[in-house]
């Protein structure tokens, strides 16, 4: 049986076929079409890390501009869920997201979907910034991007581009208030310090809410939190087409209840947003991202040199409740000072590309990439006075685990696009990555007030990994508004060494191999001659080897990664944007994914089980996004409104497919009035107050998606 909404998807396909570029219109008629009734031409940063037209890029890319970000009320990365076909985001309440594209899922600290901000990689799940502010556009690139982006982009890439300053000063201030004591305020200031030479961009964001969960044990809000994001950017235009850009981003978060979880699915739905935990603590999250980008645009060659430093310090003030109950059974403690749990990453990239010269048949890119990553963690599993409830013979003691990780790597890549004739072009590229990982582990037993004594002394493991990421494809342009492409691309997720945990049966320092995705894709994208309809159609087949399977070791919540088998993923995608009349824009993006394990074994309660033919976790059978935006001038004012519907198909959260969330839909709406400098709006998300699982752990703990939220916004801008 076809998933719900599939009929609508194919109806859109027939509509595109009817209204597409095959329709012939006299040239003089096209010239007289009102531009306000046409779709704008979209320029993207794209796969090749340079500006190009969306319709000339032979890749599956969803582009979201700053107007859509406002109309859709996108405040953080999680709210990008479903906007791109076969793109899903799950969150457990700690402001980090599990991303899935076409069945390729981020399930550990080694991502499967990479995130970039202004061309700089957000190295891992710790160093990336979840909040969005001062954004020019967002691109969701689907499919393996190993050639240009390398490690951990085997599912795709999220490209975030911030707004750039110009000579004319600009100011924008926003304030939003909502239920659950939601408060969000931001300010953005841009100006030229020296006309045509030196530009400044700065912004600040504050976001806070009481949270959705109530702790019945303390009779107080559980996940009350606030977040702050500051950004400072300087851009200097030098002589001879050189430019230098320096950016500093600082993110801080304080979350009183980082993991609002119920012990199982039944209790989560029986008493939604209610829990009872006796151990409460704040999670403190501090992230700094610094980058320096030197660029040269020449007559024949463009050069980009970029360096970045990222660090994240995340810790709990006190002991985190790990048994999700009102008893003192198990907790997690990691507040050991900044020498631990403080991730640092350095990246450097040199990229040389051919300039976009007319009549140049060969366009090429080549580059070198280097990185280091240092991640020292120290964490205690605390067994409290009630530890006997789970059969532990001792009480009031801790098992302390040390995992001191150092990673170094470098890569070289090259890519070319050769124009065979006016219509046909060939693209090909490859990348070689080498990574060396070193991990030192040790463990201790501690029973206060006595000093801790070692169980396992310092033990170090080291392993090197080599990856090869080719890409090849053919592109056929029927016109400058319609492109057919077929590609093969490969991506990978880094290999590594397993951490030490409190489970003595799980040996540390065991190597797991890189995971590879080999994707074949055929796509068609274009726009009709009236420029009132834009579409993209794609079908894909993906073969994944050496699946990296994370097994959560309880009670210390440390992930042990192993290679467990192979997977096949195939599906279909559709994107449609239409402007049938002045002021009205309709968008419908949808996808179907069938991701199934072909060989897969796991161990449960000491018994090996065969999970062949089970579905991939965090992968809905279908994702569908429909959005209708209407804008109308009333005198000097503009009335605007937006209605969204997000449909998510059946998905599973555990490898055995026992924790299931059946298909559901979410309805969002926003409307407002724009004056010359002022914009007043009201918004509502999850209007029907749908209860659904956003995240679940293999052992059964469940986090529900956000309930209904409503609010009002006020924006003042001088542009």
Task: Find the mean pLDDT for residues 203-218.
Answer: 93
649-694 residue pLDDT tens: 999 999 899 999 999 999 999 999 999 899 999 999 999 999 999 9
User: Which pLDDT band, with edges at 50, 70 and 90, does 552 fall under?
Assistant: low
pLDDT above 90 as % of the chain: 67
239-271 residue pLDDT tens: 889 999 999 999 999 999 888 988 899 999 999
User: Which pLDDT band, with edges at 50, 70 and 90, does 209 fall under?
Assistant: very high
CB 299 within 8 A of CB 351: no
Query: What's domain 6-718's architecture?
Result: Beta Barrel (2.40)
pLDDT of 607 strictly over 80: no
Residue with structure tokens 């799940």? 125
75-107 residue pLDDT tens: 999 999 999 999 999 988 888 788 999 999 876
Nearest one of 571, 417, 533, 532 to 485, comparing CA atoms: 417
pLDDT of 11 strictly over 50: no
pLDDT for the residue 346? 95
Task: Find the mean pLDDT for residues 450-469.
Answer: 89
Nearest one of 539, 407, 469, 527 to 124, comparing CA atoms: 407
pLDDT for the residue 14? 42
- pTM confidence score: 0.91
Nearest one of 183, 188, 211 to 712, comparing CA atoms: 183
- Dist. CA 447–CA 110, nearest whole Å: 34
User: Which pLDDT band, with edges at 50, 70 and 90, does 35 fall under?
Assistant: low
Task: Find the mean pLDDT for residues 400-404.
Answer: 91
Residue with structure tokens 């990555």? 433
User: Which pLDDT band, with edges at 50, 70 and 90, does 558 fall under?
Assistant: low
Instruction: Dig out the tokens for 582 from the structure.
Output: 């002045």
- Dist. CA 282–CA 296, nearest whole Å: 46
Higher pLDDT, 180 or 107: 180
User: Which pLDDT band, with edges at 50, 70 and 90, does 547 fall under?
Assistant: confident
| DSSP secondary structure letters along 185-197 | EEEEEEEEEETTT
pLDDT for the residue 604? 59
Task: Find the mean pLDDT for residues 463-477.
Answer: 95
362-387 residue pLDDT tens: 999 999 999 999 999 999 999 999 99
pLDDT for the residue 29? 41
pLDDT of 7 strictly over 50: no
Task: Find the mean pLDDT for residues 601-616.
Answer: 78
User: Which pLDDT band, with edges at 50, 70 and 90, does 51 fall under?
Assistant: confident
Task: Find the mean pLDDT for residues 305-321.
Answer: 93
pLDDT for the residue 603? 64
Cα pseudo-dihedral 315, 265, 654, 87, rounded to 10: -80
- Dist. CA 637–CA 657, nearest whole Å: 53
pLDDT for the residue 606? 56
- Dist. CA 206–CA 230, nearest whole Å: 9
| Preceding peptide of 401 cis, ω within 30° | no
pLDDT for the residue 505? 57
User: Which pLDDT band, with edges at 50, 70 and 90, does 605 fall under?
Assistant: low
Task: Find the mean pLDDT for residues 467-480.
Answer: 94
CB 468 within 8 A of CB 430: yes
pLDDT for the residue 428? 97
Rg (CA), the chain: 26
pLDDT for the residue 496? 86
pLDDT of 58 strictly over 70: yes
User: Which pLDDT band, with edges at 50, 70 and 90, does 123 fall under?
Assistant: confident
């Amino acid at each position: 049986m076809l998933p719900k909404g599939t009929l609508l998807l194919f109806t859109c396909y027939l509509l595109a076929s009817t209204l597409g570029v095959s329709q012939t219109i006299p040239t003089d008629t096209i010239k007289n079409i009102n531009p306000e009734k046409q779709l704008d031409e979209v320029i993207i940063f794209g796969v090749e890390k340079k500006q190009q037209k969306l319709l000339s890029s032979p890749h599956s890319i969803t582009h979201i501009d700053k107007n859509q970000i406002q109309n859709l009320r996108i405040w953080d990365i999680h709210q990008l869920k479903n906007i791109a076909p076969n793109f899903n985001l799950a969150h457990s309440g700690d402001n980090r997201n599990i991303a899935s594209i076409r069945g390729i899922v981020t399930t550990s600290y080694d991502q499967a979907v990479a995130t970039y901000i202004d061309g700089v990689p957000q190295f891992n799940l710790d160093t990336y910034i979840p909040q969005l502010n001062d954004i020019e556009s967002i691109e969701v690139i689907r499919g393996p991007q190993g050639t240009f982006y390398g490690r951990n982009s085997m599912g795709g890439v999220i490209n975030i581009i911030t707004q750039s300053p110009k000579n004319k000063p600009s100011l924008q201030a926003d304030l939003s208030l909502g239920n659950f004591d939601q408060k969000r305020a931001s300010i953005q200031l841009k100006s030229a310090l020296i006309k045509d030479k030196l530009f400044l961009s700065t912004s600040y964001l504050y976001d806070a809410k009481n949270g959705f969960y109530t702790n019945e044990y303390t009779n107080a809000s559980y996940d009350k939190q606030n977040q702050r994001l500051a950004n400072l950017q300087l851009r200097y235009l030098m002589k001879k087409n050189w430019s230098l850009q320096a950016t500093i981003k600082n993110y801080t978060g304080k979350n009183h209840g980082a993991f609002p979880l119920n012990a199982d699915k039944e209790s989560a739905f029986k008493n939604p947003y209610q829990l009872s935990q006796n151990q409460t603590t704040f999670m403190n999250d501090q992230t700094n991202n610094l980058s320096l980008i030197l660029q040269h645009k020449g007559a024949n060659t463009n050069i980009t040199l970029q360096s970045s430093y990222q660090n994240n310090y995340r810790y709990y003030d006190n002991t985190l409740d790990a048994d999700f109950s009102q008893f003192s059974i198990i907790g997690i403690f990691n507040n050991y000072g900044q020498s631990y749990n403080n991730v640092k990453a350095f990246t450097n990239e040199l990229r040389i590309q051919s300039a976009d010269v007319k009549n140049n048949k060969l366009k090429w890119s080549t580059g070198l990439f280097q990185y280091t990553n240092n991640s020292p963690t120290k964490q205690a599993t605390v067994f409290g006075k009630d530890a006997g409830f789970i059969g532990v013979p001792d009480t009031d003691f801790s098992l302390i685990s040390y995992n001191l990780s150092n990673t170094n790597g470098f890569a070289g890549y090259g890519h070319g696009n050769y124009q065979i004739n006016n219509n046909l072009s060939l693209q090909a590229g490859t990348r070689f990555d080498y990574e060396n990982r070193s991990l030192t582990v040790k463990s201790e037993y501690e029973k206060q007030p006595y000093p801790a004594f070692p169980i396992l002394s310092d033990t170090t493991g080291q392993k090197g990994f080599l990856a090869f990421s080719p890409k090849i494809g053919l592109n056929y342009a029927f016109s400058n508004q319609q492109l057919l492409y077929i590609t093969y691309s490969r991506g990978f997720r880094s290999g590594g060494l397993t951490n030490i945990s409190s489970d003595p049966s799980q040996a540390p320092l065991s190597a797991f191999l890189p995971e590879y995705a080999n994707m074949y894709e055929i796509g068609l994208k274009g726009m009709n001659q009236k420029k009132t309809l834009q579409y993209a159609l794609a079908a894909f087949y993906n073969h994944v080897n050496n699946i990296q399977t994370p097994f959560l070791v309880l009670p210390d919540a440390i992930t042990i990664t192993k290679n467990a088998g192979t997977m096949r993923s195939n599906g279909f995608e559709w994107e449609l944007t239409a402007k049938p009349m002045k002021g009205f824009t309709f968008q419908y993006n949808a996808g179907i994914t069938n991701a199934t394990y072909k060989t897969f074994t796991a161990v449960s309660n000491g018994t090996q089980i065969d999970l062949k033919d089970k579905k991939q976790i965090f992968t809905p059978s279908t994702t569908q996004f429909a959005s209708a935006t209407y804008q109308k001038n009333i005198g000097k004012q503009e009335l605007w409104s937006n209605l969204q519907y997000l449909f998510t198909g059946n998905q599973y959260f555990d490898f055995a497919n026992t924790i299931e969330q059946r298909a559901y839909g979410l309805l969002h709406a926003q409307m407002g009035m724009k004056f010359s400098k002022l914009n007043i709006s009201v918004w509502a998300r999850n209007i029907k107050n749908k209860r659904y699982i956003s995240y679940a752990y293999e052992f059964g703990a469940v986090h529900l998606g956000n309930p209904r939220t409503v609010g009002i916004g006020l924006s003042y801008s001088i542009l």
